[in-house]
Amino acid sequence: MTTLGTWNLENLFRPGKDGPSSKKDYDNKLTTLAATINELAPDALCVQEIGDPDALDDLVAMLNGTWRTALADPDGRGIRVGIISKPALTKVEQIRDLPEQLRPIQVEDDGTTIDAMGRPALRARIRSKGTSVDVVSTHLKSKLLTFPGGRFSPKNEGERARYGVYALTRRAGEAAAIRAGIDVLLDGDGATNAVFIGGDLNDEVQAATTQILLGPGGSEIGTAGYDKPDKGDAVRMWNLAPLIPQDERYSRIYQGRRELIDHLLVSRALVAKAKNVTTGGGKTPSITDNPNARKNDPGSDHRPVVATFDL
């Protein structure tokens, strides 16, 4: 069996301006994160919101066994995605550029545009039980809106609406960039090429931005089309969310509401081999729109999502 997963580690910085206020708070955060990872015992884990690379090294040093790490470039806030893995990581590369036909995408009232993902995704290949798996870690644009000057509150409802559109358009563009990367990895043969996407997609299963990643519809797990192979299987990805027990089917609690925004997507080569999919991490806090509220709290505001495959 091989266990793969994803976890947003929530602002993993060493103590200081962006991290916990004290070493004690930092150590408590690491201890809580490490205990959860050791309990879940993944073979590889996609991770998000890594601030200091040294902080990830500190965490990995607390894990059972020997681990390899790889990190993508950071965004403007200094956070990035990564992959930690017991098997060797090969063919490591970033997925960064938006599809040419979508460039540029406007993201500010002043006309500022982007042509690449705010946080590059990271791809690496692992080999487990004789099977090569291309693993992609990603973190799409948040639904938390930031307004000019770093404000978290709009001047008026018109501004809120516009910046909501900017965020949604940006997240959709980033999803299209990941989908383009998936197409390269699948190479038109999803039944042979094992592809695993793990990440914080910042929206739920049926959201348009999540659906963009899947490719052709009609064969989702739990539908009549699932057991009926068709031509779309060659390029299709499956969201493993329906395999999570109903009472565990959430990865974050926002203002008291459970939501699944962290997802595992797999190609045809892996979907039938998924034997157990779960979320974990103990008690999950309910969060608000204040990104600094949990600065000194242990653990993460996200639950990890992991799947075990019969490889």
Output the domain CATH number for residue 282.
3.60.10.10
Q: What is the token pair recorded at 141?
A: 């644009």
**pLDDT at position 105:** 97
Identify the residue whose tokens are 């009472």: 247
Considering only the C-alpha atoms of the chain, give the largest distance between any 2 of them, rounded to a whole number of Å. Answer: 57
Residue 288: domain span: 2-309
**pLDDT at position 16:** 84
Sorted by sequence, the CB contacts under 8 Å of residue 27 that are 6+ apart come out as none
Sign of CA dihedral 253, 85, 54, 38: positive
Q: What is the token pair recorded at 146?
A: 């930031």
- pTM, to two decimals: 0.96
Sorted by sequence, the CB contacts under 8 Å of residue 141 that are 6+ apart come out as 118, 167, 170, 171, 174, 202
Q: What is the token pair recorded at 46?
A: 């996609």
- Cα–Cα distances in Å, from 157 out to 147, 186, 217? 12, 43, 35
CA-based R_g, the chain, Å? 19
Rounded Cα distance between 244 and 156, Å, is 40
Closest by CA position to 306, among listed 44, 128, 48: 44
Are the C-beta atoms of 256 and 284 separated by less than 8 Å?
Answer: no
pLDDT along the chain (311 residues), means of 10: 97 90 92 96 98 97 98 96 99 98 96 97 96 98 91 95 97 98 97 98 96 94 90 96 95 92 98 94 75 76 96 91
**pLDDT at position 298:** 78
Question: Domain tally for the chain?
Answer: 1
**pLDDT at position 286:** 80
**pLDDT at position 266:** 98
Sorted by sequence, the CB contacts under 8 Å of residue 133 that are 6+ apart come out as 2, 4, 125, 126, 127, 194, 195, 196, 270, 311
Sign of CA dihedral 144, 147, 151, 156: negative
Q: How far apart are the first and last CA of the chain?
A: 6
Q: What is the token pair recorded at 199?
A: 């990440």
